[in-house]
Amino acid sequence: MENKAISGLKAADFQKEIGGKKVDLFFLRNANGYEVAVTNYGGTIVAIMVPDRQGNLANVIQGHDNIDDCVNSPEPFLSTLVGRYGNRICHGKFHLNGKVYNLSVNNGPNHLHGGPTGFHARVWDAEQIGKQTLVLRYVSAYYEEGFPGELSMTVRYTWTDENELVIDYRGTTNKKTIVNMTSHGFFSLQGIGNPTPSAMDTICEINADFFIPIDENSIPTGEIRKVEGTPFDFRTPYVVGQRIDEVTDEQIKHGAGYDHCFVLNKKEVGELSFAAKITEPNSGRTMEVYTTEPGVQFYSDNWADGYRGQHGATFGRRSALCFEAQHFPDSPNHPHFPSVVLNPGEVYLQKTIYKFGTDQ
């Protein structure tokens, strides 16, 4: 099966034992013959092979071509799952049940993306179901990275015949805890290469009337601000690079570009609805995002330095765009934000869809 991988990836290059658990590479293929490749190390998506408007296939997600490079990547969250908590928690502290919990700090003064040994750096138990579905399971121990409660998480990847990558999350806990899962795909719709082209010509639409301003440490100020009249207004399609260096805008400066959570327009809480769409004008590839989550973090890959990735590709600054469906950053410290608390007996559920197409 691996010899027929249109991504050129080989399962053997990902087969290794880490922490007593076996790592492997799994290929999902739909009726169109298009391919998604996922490793159970961090639930990392290493390939999404889809056509441009001429029918030419390319990998549109940044990743590595072997497990050692995944483990040692300069970008530890490169197209991985993120948990227990996606995004930042101020000073790594939050209150729950009258107690202060201290998390690892790994992003300046803050906790980011579950910490240095979060879900992105764990080997998940994997079960492939048919050609188009992969199920990953992981049990996060009590106090792992400082989080209360034992959390049992299941993530299912489904690659549909409509070229949709569907990610379903389900979690339960034995003690009150907080959960905010996401997938941190670095999407390069023109296709990865050496160098991977800039994503700044990409046309972007985000279904959000409001966004969440941040301070100089990328922590929400608590305000929920209208996008109208700001560089964050993507309610109608706009070229990403056109306003990304507006240095007179304090929020652009704080994020070094776009690195902000957008408050998605929802008719009801938890509905699966349209979040965003990007169109890459050179290739004609498009990607639509749908999610049940209240927010999506739009990140314009502001810190990449040209490090090497898959098959000699290089990933330079702003060569990818990320749409991380999630609850809001630092929610435990902002009571007016939607709650991220999960109680025993409750079930954490999330569905996010990345749908690929072309503009013709």
Active site residues: 184, 324
Q: What's 3's DSSP letter?
A: G
Euclidean distance between CA atoms 260 and 328, whole angstroms: 10
Report DSSP letters for 45-84, one per residue.
Answer: EEEEEEE-TTS-EEE-B---SSHHHHHT-SSTTTT-EE-S
Q: CA Rg, the chain, in Å? A: 19
Judge whether 331 and 87 are in contact, CB under 8 Å.
no
Cα dihedral: 105, 72, 199, 48 (round 10) = -120
Cα dihedral: 220, 224, 226, 229 (round 10) = -30
200's tokens: 């700044």
Euclidean distance between CA atoms 25 and 180, whole angstroms: 25
